[in-house]
A and B are shown apart, each in its own frame.
Chain A
Amino acid sequence: MTVHQISVFIENKSGTLIRILDLFKSSGIQLIASTISDTVDYGIYRIICSEPMRAIEVLKNAGISAEVSEVFAITLDNYPGRAADALRLISNDGICISYLYSFMLSGKGILIFRTDRPEATVKVIEANHMESLSDDSLLSLV
């Protein structure tokens, strides 16, 4: 199972994030998690939100370059070392993580990530009975 993530291609310029967040605000879309890094090459702002399919429409209608894609979202019990254990299972299989970010929701740790081999990743998740979220199950935690 996967969740939908919005990726926005943004300029490295003051005010560009506000423009996107204001669009979410006026459309009543709630931000659940988001991440951006300071790479100079491409500004990619990744967002997990309520109603991702509507969010992408809102952005595109405003003429903003954005894409929706599927990423893994797994929940972890809240104790030290849990993330290390989970990721070890994935990396033991030789799978590479393209990017990852994490946050806490209702007392649970949530890891959002993409890998270079999605099918193999699904198998690892299933074989190890990890709790993988969908858009709806993620939203129910908010």
Chain B
Amino acid sequence: MYLHPQYELLSRSELEYLQQERLQATLKQCMNSSFYRERFRKCGLSVSDIKTPEDITKLPFTTKQDLRDNYPFGLSCVPLDKVVRLHSSSGTTGTPTVILHTARDLEEWAKAVARCLYMVGLRSGDIFQNSSGYGMFTGGLGFQYGAEHLGMLTVPAAAGNTRRQIKFITDFGTTALHAIPSYAGRLYEVMVEMGLDPRRDTSLRTLIIGAEPHSEEQRRRIESMLGVKAYNSFGMSEMCGPGVAFECTEQNGLHIWEDYYIVEILNPETLEPVAEGEVGELVLTTINREAMPLLRYRTRDLTRFLPGECPCGRKHRRLDRMKGRSDDMMILKGVNIFPVQIETVLMQFEELGNDYLITLTNEQANDLMTVEVELKEFTDNYPKLQSLTREITSRLKDEILITPQVRLVPKGTLPQSEGKAVRVKDLRKTLI
């Protein structure tokens, strides 16, 4: 049940002791980089000021902008000849960012991913298919190395080509699949089109889902469609990639590995810790990385600690499923809305498919939200379509407090990417 009982079963005080040791080593490592030396000098800090994990609040934050400003190697804490891999974000929103890894970093990353997969019952003998993009996207190689570390036959199917993906699943007897939630839904649709029943015609038992915010309803729906247990995975390229936090078999919150990270949840406005159990921005300090440690990195992901202990026995705290990102929060007529709230409502309607699109527009300073959602089975029954539209509108109104314009659209007409699905389009103009 535990791949690394020596770490997974540490008590809170043992974990904190380990964190203190590792934080000290990390800070010393940081002093090898001009970036951190300069940061510490500016704040009048020295490594010896940080003695306990609580002292971490004295440290300045690191942001994505810092990674961009010091692109590509400015945050390196080892000579470049010790670096064996780099991953880079796509840079669609500006200068790309780069994360560097030593051989040891890669080894530790693979172990973390292997620990996650072992935790949900995967073992050598399982056949693991990874539908993540490979290359620079960390979900590809990250799961590949972790699954191989565990001794699984690992199929690097990579993203896209849905029919080929399904052929691999049936031909190789794939038992475990990693896919983003919207793509898992797509796989199911195509299986049905091909006349396959996933429960009867495949050996799939375990699905790893992540990278895309999704609701509990969506998880349950995917589980019943594919006949699998689906586990939530959380990671990000700045923290290596996958393997940061993962659900155990309780399926109730994601254990974040506190032997790898010091975890804070802060109010994104005040940057002060939120009250126990409240939602805030996840801020992480890596304490098990050589090439490019990140101190108090602002992830922009919003979550909260789940209170209480997990029956699985691990004392590593649990994060609630991501509530979206502090930057995908929509503010409409002064109301804060997360796409996942809308998704939760839509998924309660059996008549609707998995894809939806939220479009924000404004007319004369009046924000308008349009929610387009796919109708699963079309019926030429105008009154029925109208009453369905009205029902969705009123349930959404209850949830988000504003009245959106709901439009039912034919299946397959919403933009469907084989990567992350586009859920929100903000077309609002600045009105002066």
The total of chain A residues at the interface (CB under 8 A) is: 18
A65 located at the interface, meaning its Cβ lies under 8 Å from any Cβ of chain B in the complex: yes
A132 located at the interface, meaning its Cβ lies under 8 Å from any Cβ of chain B in the complex: no
Measured in the bound complex, the distance between the Cα atoms of B407 and A13 in whole Å is 14
A44 pairs with B375, CB closer than 8 A: no
Which of B375, B379, B386, B410 meets A41, CB within 8 Å? B386
Contact A42:B385 (CB < 8 A) given known A9-B410, A11-B409, A11-B410: yes
A69 pairs with B380, CB closer than 8 A: yes
The total of chain B residues at the interface (CB under 8 A) is: 16
A66 pairs with B378, CB closer than 8 A: yes
Contact A42:B411 (CB < 8 A) given known A7-B380, A9-B375, A65-B375: no
CB neighbours (8 Å) of B277 from chain A are none
A131 located at the interface, meaning its Cβ lies under 8 Å from any Cβ of chain B in the complex: no
For window 74-116 of chain A, which residues contact chain B by CB distance below 8 Å? 98-99
B408 pairs with A67, CB closer than 8 A: no
Q: Contact string, B361-387, partner A, CB cutoff 8 A, digits 1/0?
A: 000000000000001001110100110
CB neighbours (8 Å) of B382 from chain A are 42, 44, 98-99
B121 located at the interface, meaning its Cβ lies under 8 Å from any Cβ of chain A in the complex: no
For window 9-38 of chain B, which residues contact chain A by CB distance below 8 Å? none
Tell me the smallest distance from the CB of B232 to a CB of chain A, in Å.
Answer: 31
CB neighbours (8 Å) of A98 from chain B are 382
Closest to A116 in B: B383
A64 pairs with B410, CB closer than 8 A: yes
CB neighbours (8 Å) of A65 from chain B are 375, 378, 410-412
Q: Contact string, B402-422, partner A, CB cutoff 8 A, digits 1/0?
A: 000001111111000000000
B411 pairs with A46, CB closer than 8 A: no
A67 pairs with B389, CB closer than 8 A: no
Q: Which 8 A-B pairs have the closest CB atoms?
A: A7-B380, A65-B378, A9-B378, A65-B410, A9-B410, A11-B413, A65-B411, A67-B380
A133 located at the interface, meaning its Cβ lies under 8 Å from any Cβ of chain B in the complex: no
CB neighbours (8 Å) of A42 from chain B are 382, 385, 408
A44 pairs with B380, CB closer than 8 A: yes
CB neighbours (8 Å) of A99 from chain B are 382
List 16 A–B pairs whose Cβ atoms lie within 8 Å, in order of A's numbering: A7-B380, A9-B375, A9-B410, A13-B413, A41-B389, A42-B382, A44-B380, A46-B380, A63-B193, A63-B411, A63-B412, A65-B378, A65-B410, A65-B411, A67-B378, A98-B382
Measured in the bound complex, the distance between the Cα atoms of B407 and A10 in whole Å is 12
Closest to B414 in A: A11
Tell me the smallest distance from the CB of B55 to a CB of chain A, in Å.
Answer: 58
CB neighbours (8 Å) of A69 from chain B are 380
CB neighbours (8 Å) of B193 from chain A are 63
Q: Contact string, B83-106, partner A, CB cutoff 8 A, digits 1/0?
A: 000000000000000000000000
Tell me the smallest distance from the CB of A27 to a CB of chain B, in Å.
Answer: 19
A5-B380, A65-B378, A66-B378 are known contacts; what are 4 more A-B pairs with Cβ within 8 Å? A10-B410, A42-B385, A46-B380, A65-B410
Measured in the bound complex, the distance between the Cα atoms of B389 and A42 in whole Å is 10
Measured in the bound complex, the distance between the Cα atoms of B409 and A64 in whole Å is 12
Closest to B386 in A: A41
Measured in the bound complex, the distance between the Cα atoms of B378 and A20 in whole Å is 16
Measured in the bound complex, the distance between the Cα atoms of B379 and A90 in whole Å is 25
Closest to A6 in B: B380
CB neighbours (8 Å) of A7 from chain B are 378, 380
Measured in the bound complex, the distance between the Cα atoms of B412 and A10 in whole Å is 11
Measured in the bound complex, the distance between the Cα atoms of B287 and A11 in whole Å is 52
Tell me the smallest distance from the CB of A68 to a CB of chain B, in Å.
Answer: 9
CB neighbours (8 Å) of A5 from chain B are 380
Q: Contact string, A48-79, partner B, CB cutoff 8 A, digits 1/0?
A: 00000000000000011111010000000000
Tell me the smallest distance from the CB of B284 to a CB of chain A, in Å.
Answer: 43
Tell me the smallest distance from the CB of B290 to a CB of chain A, in Å.
Answer: 50
Closest to B379 in A: A67
Q: Contact string, A9-43, partner B, CB cutoff 8 A, digits 1/0?
A: 11101000000000000000000000000000110
Tell me the smallest distance from the CB of B287 to a CB of chain A, in Å.
Answer: 50
Measured in the bound complex, the distance between the Cα atoms of B384 and A9 in whole Å is 14
Tell me the smallest distance from the CB of A9 to a CB of chain B, in Å.
Answer: 4
Tell me the smallest distance from the CB of B161 to a CB of chain A, in Å.
Answer: 17
Measured in the bound complex, the distance between the Cα atoms of B411 and A7 in whole Å is 14
CB neighbours (8 Å) of A64 from chain B are 410
Residue with the greatest number of chain A CB neighbours at <10 A, chosen from B382, B410, B411: B410
Q: Contact string, B188-207, partner A, CB cutoff 8 A, digits 1/0?
A: 00000100000000000000
Tell me the smallest distance from the CB of A64 to a CB of chain B, in Å.
Answer: 7
Measured in the bound complex, the distance between the Cα atoms of B380 and A66 in whole Å is 8
CB neighbours (8 Å) of B411 from chain A are 63, 65
Closest to A68 in B: B380
CB neighbours (8 Å) of A11 from chain B are 409-410, 413
